[in-house]
Amino acid sequence: MYAYAACEDAVLLYPLYALLFTEHGLSPAAVSSLFALWSLTAFLTEVPSGVLADLVSRRLLLVVSPLLSAAAFALWTLAPGYGTFAAGFVLWGVGGSLRSGTWQAHIHAELAVLGRADAYPRLIGRAEAVGTVSALACALAAGPVLAAGGFTAVGLASVAMPLMAAVVALALPDTRVRPLPARDHTAPDDAGEGVDEPGARQVLREGVAALRGAAPARAAVVAVAGLAAVLSLDEYLPLLIADTGLALTAVPLGYGLILAGGAVGGWLADRGTEHPGRVLAGGGCALALGAFSATPAGLVGVAVAFGVLRWAAVQADTRLQRETADSSRATVSSLAGSAAEVTSLASFGLWALGSAWAGPAVLFGCAALPIVVLAVTWRR
């Protein structure tokens, strides 16, 4: 599990693909259109992929997901251009959707088979921490690899690691027994062998019904979506770091500090679960103090805040998994993922609007307010 997370996030292109696009003549508007296509693809395929994960082998989808990512990076490397960049983002978006919800549902289901479902927050949090550290290591290595072999070397290395993730996924356990629906007694007795696989509509209905009928599950979805809205601001962290007065060459170090904070939060996801609201409120205060200070030292507070946010995201996901039946677990997780996509897009829009009046330090400081609101709601 840890090896899969490490391989999937070990992509040297992560900190460089925007530069790859501009290197081939794309304007900022064209680059933004690619990001919009990526988000739209993820949104449209999130729920269908979750339903699929409740119908077929989840391990199979975890094998296919990194293969699509590898195909995207191969297109970008071997035939760079706007059309292939767009096709790559579609492939990457679909691949990410196949993993989203499936990964969490698969881990929880396999732990439940072993009678160790209570270990879920620790394992999923540490897997995320391993992935974050892997991404950090690749970010530090991307510069030297780019200097030595250009974007071709960076791209080929980025293709290799997802392929390795697919191989690792083949070794994941797959002992889940997919439940079958009750037989349709209105059908003729000789219409087939007996019971067919549950259909997509049935699985989707079960997922929606699970949310409608369980207030704790709905609360968990709200928490997942709310936390995603704030976590999505990590796209703007380089702007905040540069706004503290650090030299451009030192920005990656500041970014690495915040990534390290997120990794620690994931690693400690099974700690402090008695008072999640208080921990989350503390994270909001740390973000406000760190961001409003607009100093390099304030980045420590921001790192603490993002560590708490990663910790809280695991708590919310754990609650959602516990409140959901396995027959529709991936579907419900994907419904939560769709809500998270919507709130993330709203955050991007609010940032664009607010940036006309305030800088990154003020905007990140204001982002502490919804964290505190979530903390109060969580306690209730």
State residue 326's pLDDT score: 67
Quick one: 334 exposed, middle or buried, by C-beta within 10 A (0-12, 13-18, 19+)? Answer: buried
Name the residue among 91, 102, 5 with its Cα closest to residue 48.
Answer: 102
What is d(CA 106, CA 123) in angstroms, rounded to the nearest whole number?
A: 12
State residue 377's pLDDT score: 80
Q: Are 206 and 325 in contact (CB under 8 A)?
A: yes
222-240: per-residue pLDDT in tens? 888 888 888 888 777 777 8
What is d(CA 226, CA 190) in angstroms, rounded to the nearest whole number?
A: 51
Q: Are 144 and 21 in contact (CB under 8 A)?
A: no
Q: Which residues of the chain have pLDDT under 70?
A: 28-29, 176-200, 203-204, 206-207, 209-211, 213-214, 248-252, 272, 326-328, 379-380
What is d(CA 282, CA 290) in angstroms, rounded to the nearest whole number?
A: 12
State residue 162's pLDDT score: 92
State residue 211's pLDDT score: 67
State residue 307's pLDDT score: 92
332-346: per-residue pLDDT in tens? 777 787 788 788 878
Degrees, nearest 5: CA angle 69-83-48 = 45
